[in-house]
A and B are shown apart, each in its own frame.
Chain A
């Protein structure tokens, strides 16, 4: 493995992607809105707007959510008033599925530029004439999408932790975030989600004619994540530590299958045939 060539590919793909507004804008705006602005509004606003009540009322209003909740999670809410319950529900549970959208979105938008965009701009052929192997080229491109997805996701997590704990300090009088489930989410599920975005985008890029094409087609990946969100609000699935670990395992299994297929589309002969 020629790591210098791998790094060269990753670096140039990233540099080119970051000079494309179509790539940079969603990478900055989506996480800001979804992981900073929305949580801040949703967690803080009810604190100021809702009168102080016992926790019972909110628990009744969110009946489905609390009805099937396992005991160890339910205990989190013992003795909390409405405001406190809301802060914990919103920060611990509601935003967890959203958090998976970030790595998928970042890796697929950069991946779309690196795989489909390179095809669209017809620069791939010159690369194929260099000594780099197809595997090195593939890894370089995967890293170009994967590493920024991790950096952005983890940066979001740090900012989110600050926002959530600020609310915690105000309402609960302590910092309560993150719990173990969130740490598993960040270290185990987020990388899997980033890989998922890449796996899908590589397969889609083999067919897509342009960056835009590929990025739009890959948007479908978000659907299962939205299902997770509804599943939880409907009381079917909760983001407890074992569940989060299992979700991670399931995504990694899908990743393994997708990347195996993706590598097959990435032989020199296969690429040349599509140029």
Chain B
């Protein structure tokens, strides 16, 4: 049984008539990178605020690191770090000053703080400009500094709200690599709010998809794909096209739900994975020239759009 560092039960927040988050049930394990996916306005930022005790819920329960953020907000926030959607840095101050102030707010002991600031500046490649005003930094540098600031107190859980939004591809890749490092080398739990699906696919162990304040799916991308597309998909790459009668007899095979031809590839949907050898054998017997057989993988993007479409269908 994993150690849950974030748990919510039926978490709900209304703003007047607007339901920002509704009946959210989440469990996030220590060390996990959890992607929280949804369009703008779906309730991602509200959820981060609720989990950090910055906003009180209308209903439901929250446990973060075993504590209740409503009653123990400061104690929770001492062990969480948040990268807000806009970097919210003090632009008239230098990078070093920004980090020192936040270190003091997190009550990092003075001697540890000096060292930590130097380390973070080094790690985020800001040492050379550490004493320049932040106002003159590029967007990517500001975002790296904001990320360094969220880490000043070595938090157990790191909340990242759209960490690469508005960055150019180079800067975005740098930030993504840093997040990867924080998760893999430092083992931090990361709660990543994003609508960048490529980034989520690269970084996340599990994802949750939120739609109009409701969590419509949670799991690893593979689990979600299986839940959406029942059965097991394979892709067979052929050297030359399959004759029509061979294709027809393939469709009649037991356990074959669907066959689609795409250029020189056959996309076959099976009811179960163990049908694969029989299908390959049948193809070989029919004279097919097989170059490769691989399981069909659904990108997180396919999964996400399918889930959003299903949700829209359900709520319409």
Contact = CB atoms under 8 A, between A and B. Distances in A.
Contact of A269 (B55, B74, B88, B91): B55
Interface string A105-126: 0000000000000000111111
Contacts of A48: none
A54 interface: no
A52 interface: no
A272 B105 contact: no
12 contacts: A5-B105, A12-B93, A15-B92, A16-B92, A16-B93, A121-B91, A123-B89, A124-B88, A125-B86, A129-B54, A130-B102, A269-B55
A245 interface: no
Contacts of B146: 126
Contacts of A272: 49, 54-55
Interface string B115-152: 00000000000000000000000000000001001000
Interface of A: 2, 4-5, 7-9, 11-12, 15-16, 19-20, 121-133, 268-269, 272-273
A2 B74 CA distance: 11
Contacts of B78: 131
B92 A5 contact: no
Given A8-B104, A126-B149, A131 B75 contact: yes
Contacts of A16: 90, 92-93
B92 A9 contact: no
Contact of B104 (A5, A15, A126): A5
Contacts of B105: 5, 8-9, 127, 130-132
Given A12-B101, A16-B90, A19-B92, A126 B82 contact: yes
A127 B102 CA distance: 8
Contact of B90 (A12, A128, A130, A132): A12
B93 A15 contact: yes
Contacts of B77: 129-131
B218 to A, nearest CB: 24
Contacts of B56: 269
Nearest to B135: A19
Interface string B82-119: 10101011111100010001101111000000000000
A20 B74 CA distance: 31
A4 B106 CA distance: 10
B12 interface: no
Given A12-B93, A15-B93, A269-B56, A130 B88 contact: no
Contact of A2 (B49, B86, B107): B107
Interface residues of B, number: 32
Given A4-B107, A19-B92, A269-B55, A125 B101 contact: no
Interface string B21-62: 000000000000000000000000000010011111000000
Given A8-B105, A126-B149, A130-B77, 15 more contacts: A4-B107, A8-B104, A11-B101, A12-B90, A12-B93, A15-B92, A20-B92, A123-B89, A127-B105, A129-B52, A130-B102, A131-B106, A268-B55, A269-B54, A272-B55
B88 A123 contact: yes
A4 B104 CA distance: 7
A132 B103 CA distance: 12
10 smallest beta-carbon distances between A and B, as pairs: A8-B104, A131-B74, A126-B88, A129-B82, A130-B105, A19-B92, A131-B77, A131-B78, A123-B88, A12-B101
Contacts of A12: 90, 93, 97, 101
Contacts of A124: 88
A5 to B, nearest CB: 5
A55 to B, nearest CB: 55
A121 B82 CA distance: 18
A126 B149 CA distance: 9
Between A7, A15, A20, A124, the greatest number of chain B beta carbons within 10 A of the residue's beta carbon is seen for A15
A268 B107 contact: no
Contacts of B97: 12, 15
Contacts of B54: 128-129, 268-269, 272
Contacts of B104: 4-5, 7-8
Contacts of B89: 123, 126
Contacts of A122: 86, 88
